[in-house]
Amino acid sequence: MALLQVDGVSRVFAGIAGGAPTQALQPTDLVVADHDFLTILGPSGCGKSTLLRIIAGLDQPTTGQVLLAGEKIQRPGPDRGMVFQSYTLFPWLTVRENIGFGLREKGMPADLQQDIIAHYVARTGLTGFESHYPKMLSGGMQQRTALARALANDPKMLLLDEPFGALDHQTRALMQELLLGIWETDRKTVLFVTHDIDEAIFMGTRVAVMSARPGRIKTQLPIDLPHPRHYTVKTTAEFSAYKAQLTEEIRAESIRAAQMQP
């Protein structure tokens, strides 16, 4: 069953100071099934984040529409949980308060809020840090908190825009395993934007490759690797074959993007 449907979505940004407009997205179609984990790859500036922001309701398409469970997306909503690359926690709130922010906004009873917060504190490895403020946390801990906050609202879909891009290699690998483990248990529908080919393969049930700007979905590659997915899968011949194919796809689009520069 399709949970998300992107129909002919394009985005053109107005020129600055009377300059020429910029087309970020060509008319783009995409169908995402319930429980899918779709990773999106593409060269820099191809419109990956623009597409994700439109799906989140943070931006509006120039043409086309996005449907979530048959309803047109026109604004942000609690049915979509968003995690950004930059740390977007409220600095004046503790870990516990950040995770529970959306629950309080819904007017949920306090005892139920605390149960949900405690559940996601435990699941994301934040036990013992509940009373810490963001400035007291490492980057990895801040992203764990942002992920817990998104999950606590029980959205239909998680949208992640390079959420681990600012982390060191070891922390990034641990965060990949954490999120993948949660998905394998809960089967939330996930859209995950990344520049990292290994990450896209390891995390995804499918990888969508976008063309150079103006972007469009050029290729979709199903990832037939077993679950639960252990990090050692990255050393297998099957993983290497997927990586070789996607590397060629991305390389071709990156060369096109470089040739289009003025």
In a domain, 132, yes or no: yes
If asked whether residues 245 and 128 sit together in one domain, one would say no
If asked whether residues 206 and 188 sit together in one domain, one would say yes
What is d(CA 188, CA 203) in angstroms, rounded to the nearest whole number?
13
DSSP assigned state of 14: P
What is d(CA 47, CA 218) in angstroms, rounded to the nearest whole number?
12
Nearest Cα residue to 200 out of 158, 257, 247: 247
Predicted confidence band of residue 15 (pLDDT cuts 50, 70, 90): confident
pLDDT exceeds 70 at position 261: no
Torsion of CA 164, 53, 6, 216, to 10 degrees: -70
In a domain, 106, yes or no: yes
Cα(first)–Cα(last) distance of the chain, in Å?
A: 44
For residues 57 and 74, the answer to whether their CB atoms sit within 8 Å is yes
So what's the pLDDT on residue 166?
85
In a domain, 129, yes or no: yes
Positive or negative, the CA dihedral 7, 58, 123, 229 is: positive
Judge if pTM exceeds 0.85. yes
What is d(CA 103, CA 101) in angstroms, rounded to the nearest whole number?
5
In a domain, 122, yes or no: yes
Positive or negative, the CA dihedral 51, 36, 32, 69 is: negative
| Residue 219's CATH number | 3.40.50.300
User: Which residues, in sequence order, are bridge partners of residue 209?
Assistant: 41, 219
If asked whether residues 217 and 135 sit together in one domain, one would say no
Q: What is the tens place of the pLDDT at every residue in 94-144?
A: 999 999 999 999 899 999 999 999 999 999 999 999 999 999 999 999 999
User: Which residues, in sequence order, are bridge partners of residue 68?
Assistant: 4, 71
Q: Which of 112, 139, 154 is the last residue of a domain?
A: 154
DSSP assigned state of 27: E
3-state secondary structure of 82: strand
What residue ranges in the chain does DSSP mark as E strands? 2-13, 22-33, 37-41, 63-68, 71-72, 80-83, 157-161, 189-193, 206-210, 217-222
Note down the domain range covering 46.
31-60+157-262
So what's the pLDDT on residue 149?
95
For residues 44 and 195, the answer to whether their CB atoms sit within 8 Å is yes
If asked whether residues 168 and 252 sit together in one domain, one would say yes
Predicted confidence band of residue 61 (pLDDT cuts 50, 70, 90): very high
- Structural domains counted in the chain: 2
Q: Which of 107, 129, 154 is the last residue of a domain?
A: 154
pLDDT exceeds 60 at position 262: no
If asked whether residues 165 and 136 sit together in one domain, one would say no
Predicted confidence band of residue 17 (pLDDT cuts 50, 70, 90): confident
What is d(CA 118, CA 63) in angstroms, rounded to the nearest whole number?
43
Q: What is the tens place of the pLDDT at every residue in 219-232?
A: 999 999 999 999 99
